[in-house]
Chain A
Amino acid sequence: QQQVKQSPQSLIVQKGGISIINCAYENTAFDYFPWYQQFPGKGPALLIAIRPDVSEKKEGRFTISFNKSAKQFSLHIMDSQPGDSATYFCAASPYSGGGADGLTFGKGTHLIIQP
């Protein structure tokens, strides 16, 4: 059972455009939603994350939009640049009442920014 569904699987955007990646979850216990960027041969890098108490969070060119009722969240990359070309993973984690829990990842989106 895939708990976090991510789309699209691949995305091509022109330089300067807006890249949008969507995720949906089913487990209502999830309450932390990060996005990771991964380049080939590297570990995932934490980009930005959101908790359900806010509907939007912006950090530089990256924005997370969160819709709690629809159980959906998305990543927007404004003014996309060729250096943004990478694989992006959404993820989710439940609140564990003080104990650490792992992340459940979406399947990933391979983003290509064309110059």
Chain B
Amino acid sequence: DTEVTQTPKHLVMGMTNKKSLKCEQHMGHRAMYWYKQKAKKPPELMFVYSYEKLSINESVPSRFSPECPNSSLLNLHLHALQPEDSALYLCASSYRATGYEQYFGPGTRLTVT
């Protein structure tokens, strides 16, 4: 089983709202990732958590705040977003903390109005 689940599937928020994206995996994977994908573009890495600790932040604006409460759960807290932040937000996980064999969830389609 290589399932990564993400909720919600779709999210519309205003620029003053605070919302959170949730990602869950029950495969015992030790690394989890957030990627952002704009239309007709490849995914771009945002954050990497390895053994529940933030190991990589790809210079992401502070209006995006990741959190890893436990080894199965990854959150992305959103605040004061801009319309250009509208995108598909993808979560991924990998068993080994090497970055290999990353399995992606279905994504959350975010629209900022």
Q: Which residue of A has the minimal Cβ distance to B106?
A: A43
Tell me, in angstroms, the Cα distance from A104 to B49 when the chains sit together.
Answer: 16
Q: How would residues 30 to 67 of chain B score, 1 for a CB under 8 Å from any chain A CB and 0 otherwise? A: 11010100001111110011100001101000000000
In contact, B105 and A43 (Cβ under 8 angstroms): yes
**Interchain CB contact under 8 A, B101 and A46:** yes
Q: What's the Cα separation between A45 and B92 when bound, in Å?
A: 10
The residues in A between 54 and 98 inclusive whose CB is less than 8 angstroms from any CB of B are 89, 93-96, 98
- Most B CB atoms within 10 A — which of A45, A100, A108? A100
Q: Which residue of A lies closest to B40 (CB)?
A: A108
Q: How many A-B residue pairs have CB under 8 A?
A: 79
Give per-residue flags for B4-32: 1 if the beta carbon is below 8 A from chain A beta carbons, else 0.
10000000000000000000000000110
Query: Residue A99 at the B interface, CB < 8 A?
Result: yes
How many residues of chain A get a CB closer than 8 Å to chain B's CBs? 26
Which residues does chain A contribute within 8 Å of B109, judged by CB atoms?
Answer: 41
Within the complex, the shortest CB–CB distance from A10 to chain B, in Å, comes to 11
* CB <8 Å contact, B98 and A102: no
The answer to whether B90 and A100 have CB atoms under 8 Å apart is no
Report B101 CB to chain A, min CB distance, Å.
Answer: 7
Cross-chain contact A101 with B48 (CB below 8 angstroms): yes
Q: How far is the CB of B109 from chain A (nearest CB, A)?
A: 8
Closest CB in chain B relative to A107 CB, distance in Å? 6
Q: Which of A34, A45, A93 has the most CB of B within 10 A?
A: A93
- A46 and B93 CA atoms in complex are apart in Å by 12
Q: Determine if B99 and A96 form an interchain contact, defined as CB atoms under 8 angstroms apart.
A: yes
Q: Are B99 and A32 in contact (CB under 8 A)?
A: yes
Contacts of A45 in B (CB 8 A): 104
A residues sitting closer than 8 Å to B (CB atoms) are 32, 34, 36, 41-46, 49, 89, 93-96, 98-108
Of all A-B residue pairs in the complex, the 3 with the closest CB atoms, nearest first, are A102-B45, A105-B42, A100-B31
Q: What are some 24 contacts across the A-B interface (CB < 8 A)? A: A34-B102, A42-B106, A42-B107, A43-B4, A43-B90, A46-B2, A46-B104, A94-B99, A96-B98, A99-B50, A100-B33, A100-B48, A100-B55, A100-B97, A100-B98, A101-B99, A102-B45, A102-B48, A102-B56, A102-B58, A103-B102, A105-B43, A108-B40, A108-B42
